[in-house]
Amino acid sequence: MGRREREAVAAGGRLCEAARAVVGDHGRAVEAVRAALQPIHDAAADQALDAIPVARLKEVTEGRLRLGEVESSGLRSVRQVLDAGSYRLRQIPGVGQRTADQVLAAARQISDAVGETITVHIDVDRPEPLTTSLVMALHVLVEAGPDARRAVDTAVALSERLGPLLAEAAPVAGRLRMLLVGQSKRAQALEAAAQVRGLTEEAAQGGVPELLAQASVDLLRGTSTEVAAWVDFELRSAEYYSLLAEISGRRPDTAAAEGFLPDEVAGRVRDQTLDDTYRRVSLRGYQAFGARFALAQRKVILGDEMGLGKTIQAIAALAHLAAEGQSHFMVVCPASVMINWTREIEARSKLRVAPLHGPDRHEAFADWKGRGGVGVTTFDSLRGFPAPGSGELGMLVVDEAHYVKNPKTRRSQVVTEWSGRCERVLFMTGTPMENRVAEFRSLVQILQPHVAGAVGDRNGVAGSTAFRKAVAPVYLRRNQQDVLTELPGLQHTDEWEELSASDEEAYREAVSAGNFMAMRRAAYARPEKSAKLNRLREIVEDAAENGMKVVVFSSFKDVLAAVKDTLDGARSPGGGQVFGPLSGSVPPARRQQLVDEFAAEPGHAVLVAQIESAGVGLNMQAASVVIICEPQIKPTIEHQAVARAHRMGQVRSVRVHRLLTMGAVDERMVKLLKNKTRLFDEYARHSAVAESTPDAVDVSDTAIARQIVEEEQARLGAVRSEAAGHP
């Protein structure tokens, strides 16, 4: 016993003190958020209680409560009853102590229920002192980032282990104390000192003292200015809301966050660990569950609705596997989103990323094989690479996996071959089924053939409930409304317009020619007299007056050109720049650059984009107005496009305007496409949720086009005949 033991205990004491300091600093930062949140929450609750009439108190007591005297006294709302309190209630003629107590008890029950449902929305366009205080308090924790959380977890574990050991080792601090304790106590103290030394040395080797020191600095740094905090909130609102939900305890419903999976599957997923060593971003609860689902179930489809962060969940799964020692991963995606994947992996993880596309892709592939990391390639480029050997690839991620739903295509066959060589495969798609259940079933077939075989016959015609239960082990889907309680509102408006005389003439020519695509864009064929373009210009002008950014979507390049020319011609000084058109012919790098320039433009701006090219992979949270120039044959294309703006990270309400013409192709398409939306809702929107079980239906694109053309030719032919017979 001597100096070595004393130095070990002293070093352990310093480490334990640093750990406790970090826990305390983090606790104070969290309490600052709670203190800033409380008055906002209370004000929202008071407003809600003000809107609930006194008569609703009867429902709490199943009608037993007599409220006539209370209502006649002038107390109109539940909040007024709570504010009145017992004394004032007892002053009302006919109300005694017992009635007053019952009324207040019922009011408090309603108040508690309201308090649990309140979701705080932070309005970036109307900052107030209370919300500014909340944003600044959250800013401290967001800036500290995942490393601070890791430091706190490490500090808690260290404190719990070091605290008792330091107490046992206390006698070694002085020779006299060691002489005064008994032999057994001396032995315990020496053993405890040895354990303290071991823990301290292990922590030093793992960089724990530096981690704790940096966390304390980050947590105590504070925010430079209110403006800096608000700017950061607008850029990273998803991280702010994630922390707010965690601290306030306002988490989404557990069953919804877990995709309504059966208990057996959900339990297995919950037991899956998730290492964050190689991750640079915090996860929301449902996102952590999604990453665990991919790891626990090994070969799955993540079918979350657009805007819920499927990319982040995939990166979290890759980071976990990297922490376990896996070195090689592959992401396959459309060319348009390669840059987005590269950026996200670099920003959200510590993993090396290697783009494998373009003329040098084979050299890049050889380098990736040697050095490891996350290879990011396209469906077409994947065909030129040799399939991996068994165990070579830690995980294969296929983004926009509905691109491989047709097993007859070459891209599907290549993805199937790679999937068969990998132990873990993650398919990502918010639209796994567009026309028929069999398409969804074909994706499951690639991943887990035994699950696909249990679904039903080769057409996949099974009831929706049975189908979702059967695919639960391989399919997880969550919807925005279930897990993003803070998401701003989404307002859909169908803008019905009458065809102008010029529009009508162009439309009749297209119908006579039997040209379905010309029928769909006839309303823009003569821009100077187009009813749709006139309405579009009005919507954009309204957005400009309010400083809002606008995205205009169409399937057709000539429609986009007409829109751009119209808006450029109508633009007043300061009216906002028009970006685009962004179409499939624009290189992927330039597409991302256009979106970045659109987002960076101060105030109002317009981005004109082809819906199939821009509706996939590009995030457009800067826009708060979306205009869709014509209905789409696949409703999922519209859903995807809208979700590019209305997604996690959006801080403003989103208004969607769909331009439609009456008595023509648009009206017929809207009616016929309702079946497609119903099919997706019943089979794929939820995972393993009990609902009704209608049979699957198939409405193919060709069938829709043929039916509409024939019906319009018959209608317009009949109109001409009637006109000819009645001069």
**What tens digit of pLDDT does each residue of 570-579 get?**
654 446 789 9
pLDDT value of residue 699: 36
Which residues of 334-469 form beta strands (DSSP E)? 353-355, 373-378, 395-399, 425-428
pLDDT value of residue 702: 66
pLDDT value of residue 649: 56
CB atoms within 10 A of CB 645: 25
Check if the beta carbon of residue 465 is closer than 8 Å to that of residue 691.
yes
Residue 396 β-bridge partners = 330, 425
Check if the beta carbon of residue 580 is closer than 8 Å to that of residue 601.
no
Higher pLDDT, 3 or 24: 24
Q: Running DSSP on this structure, what letter comes out for residue 420?
A: H
As a whole number of angstroms, the distance between CA 256 and CA 478 comes to 7
Check if the beta carbon of residue 590 is closer than 8 Å to that of residue 615.
no
Stretch 291-301: mean pLDDT: 95
As a whole number of angstroms, the distance between CA 358 and CA 381 comes to 8
Check if the beta carbon of residue 411 is closer than 8 Å to that of residue 404.
yes
As a whole number of angstroms, the distance between CA 155 and CA 19 comes to 4
Band the pLDDT of 462: cuts 50, 70, 90.
Answer: very low
Summarised one tens digit per residue, pLDDT across range 399-411 is: 989 889 889 999 9
Q: What percent of the chain is modeled with pLDDT above 70?
A: 83
pLDDT value of residue 701: 59
**Which tokens sit at 124?**
């970036």
pLDDT value of residue 696: 28
**Which tokens sit at 84?**
């009145």
As a whole number of angstroms, the distance between CA 319 and CA 280 comes to 10
**Which tokens sit at 53?**
């009439």
Band the pLDDT of 124: cuts 50, 70, 90.
Answer: confident
Buried/exposed 186-195: b ≥16 CB within 10 Å, e otherwise = beebbebbeb
Summarised one tens digit per residue, pLDDT across range 520-572 is: 989 999 998 999 998 898 888 878 877 788 999 998 999 999 999 988 876 54
pLDDT value of residue 180: 61
Band the pLDDT of 21: cuts 50, 70, 90.
Answer: very high
- Cis amide bond preceding 93, omega within 30: no
Residue 393 β-bridge partners = none
H or E element that contains 7: helix 3-50
HSE-CB of 260 using CA atoms within 13 angstroms? 20
Does the pLDDT at position 659 exceed 70?
A: yes
Stretch 49-70: mean pLDDT: 76
pLDDT value of residue 587: 80
Write down the mean pLDDT value for the chain. Answer: 82
Stretch 414-436: mean pLDDT: 85
Residue 335's nearest CA partner among 623, 618, 640, 639 is 618
Q: What are phi and psi of 378, to 5 degrees?
A: -100, 170
Band the pLDDT of 398: cuts 50, 70, 90.
Answer: very high
Q: Please, what are the domains in the chain?
A: 1-250 (no CATH), 253-482 (3.40.50.10810), 489-663 (3.40.50.300)
Stretch 225-238: mean pLDDT: 79
Summarised one tens digit per residue, pLDDT across range 681-698 is: 555 555 442 222 222 223
Does the pLDDT at position 297 exceed 90?
A: yes
Band the pLDDT of 614: cuts 50, 70, 90.
Answer: low
Its pTM stands at 0.59
Band the pLDDT of 624: cuts 50, 70, 90.
Answer: confident
Does the pLDDT at position 481 exceed 90?
A: no
Pairing of strands 475-476, 299-302: parallel
The alpha carbon of residue 360 and the mean position of all alpha carbons in its chain are separated, in whole angstroms, by: 34
**Which tokens sit at 85?**
């309190």
Does the pLDDT at position 75 exceed 60?
A: yes
**Which tokens sit at 553?**
């979507």
pLDDT value of residue 698: 34
